[in-house]
Amino acid sequence: MTRGQGSGAGGRVRVAVLFGGESDEHDVSLRSAETVMGALDPERFEVVPVGITRQGAWFSGEGVFGQLTAHSPLFALPGDAHPGQDEVTGPVTGEALVVVEPGQVGLSGSALSGVDVVFPVLHGPRGEDGTVQGMLELARVPYVGSGVLGSAVAMDKAMAKVVLAGAGIPQGAWLAVSRADWETDPIVVGERVESELGYPCFVKPANMGSSVGVSKVHDAGELGAAMSLACQYDRRIVVEAGLDAREIEVAVLGNESPVASVAGEIVPAGEFYDYAAKYVSDDSALIVPADLTADEAGEISRLAVAAFAALDLAGLARVDFFLERESGRVLVNEVNTLPGFTAISMYPRLWAASGMPLPDLVARLVELARARHAERRR
């Protein structure tokens, strides 16, 4: 198949939007996909919905989005009951993808024929970590976002910190702990945390996003519960020193010549910007643009692009910063390669404030995906 002007009806670009997935960010993915699919101009793009259940089965077709959201608490109506697992039964097949059960390979024959670009609106492991990206590389299909290397490194918070440190990007104090080390000798781990970081600190799974599994630890007595929670999600745990700092976020867009958006500030209603604050309640303040000096804004923008380049990213990323109140130091906290695209998410809001409304943003991401694919095919 030739991927030129577009293989869809009327020459439209046919975009397969992947959503759901096996990670604990499944529900956030559904919210993000709803926004992305609604923003793709139907005169320019033909959307092919592709849903992945929590169990890892792939379905395509118009009905799959409704089937997955029917079992999602983020789409709840008051009084609804919501099972912990979606119960999609019966294939909803379309032309773009065959139905694939967990453990099978879905790239043979014409599984991806007819699709010009894949837009993976997937968050967390088995979606944002290079696994799906590797599958799409094998299928030779253009896709939105970073490649295998950048996706995998940025998803793993511990490895990303190592790479960013090697590139001279300033960060706060942190340490990595394996689940095996914690379960073997929690006393030694606790002594390391207290001596190297102190309290308060934050404990989080290395490979997870949307603040899933993250805890703020005020003293040694709370460390055990926080570590146990993080260990439910990953075998690698990151512990970060607590900082008296403002939380600043910047959106980055581009391939070889990325650009940064205006900066935004998050003022959490609680002690930190947790999952509920991001996707359930609207009590936290999202200030766009952030109230920064010209020097602060310039340094944050420079570091955002530098972090993007150091991790070999492409398409899009959101770079999260700490701006220390006392010292004025700008520190990179995390880099997210597939940031949330919900109606209240910072990534689209930052670009809207920078003069790029959501329909233009998603169209630009599709263009960048095709350009990157063409460059790699050289």
The set of catalytic residues is 25, 210, 279, 318, 320, 334, 336, 340
Is 89 a residue whose pLDDT tops 70? no
In this structure, how many other beta carbons lie within 10 angstroms of the beta carbon of residue 158? 17
- Whole-angstrom distance between the N-terminal and C-terminal Cα of the chain? 18
Of 6-20, 126-140, 339-353, where does mean pLDDT reach its minimum?
6-20
Cα separation, 163 vs 160, in Å, equals 5
pLDDT reported for residue 5: 59
Is 167 a residue whose pLDDT tops 90? yes
pLDDT reported for residue 83: 43
| Average pLDDT of the segment spanning 311-328 | 97
Q: What is the pLDDT of residues 94-142, one digit of tens each?
A: 433 444 555 444 443 344 567 899 999 999 888 899 999 999 998 889 9
Domains of the chain: residue spans and CATH? 9-143 (3.40.50.20), 154-170+244-372 (3.30.470.20), 174-241 (3.30.1490.20)
Is 90 a residue whose pLDDT tops 60? no
Q: What is the pLDDT of residues 217-234, one digit of tens each?
A: 999 999 999 999 999 988
In this structure, how many other beta carbons lie within 10 angstroms of the beta carbon of residue 2? 6
Going by pLDDT thresholds of 50, 70 and 90, the confidence category of residue 355 is: very high
Q: What is the pLDDT of residues 211-220, one digit of tens each?
A: 678 899 999 9
Percent of the chain with pLDDT over 90: 65
Q: What is the pLDDT of residues 29-86, one digit of tens each?
A: 999 999 999 999 999 999 989 898 888 888 887 788 888 888 777 765 444 444 444 4
pLDDT reported for residue 285: 85
Is 349 a residue whose pLDDT tops 80? yes
Going by pLDDT thresholds of 50, 70 and 90, the confidence category of residue 315 is: very high
Q: What is the pLDDT of residues 241-290, one digit of tens each?
A: 999 999 999 999 999 999 999 999 998 765 654 444 444 445 668 899 99
pLDDT reported for residue 94: 42
The CA R_g of the chain, rounded to the nearest whole Å, is 21
| Average pLDDT of the segment spanning 177-188 | 94
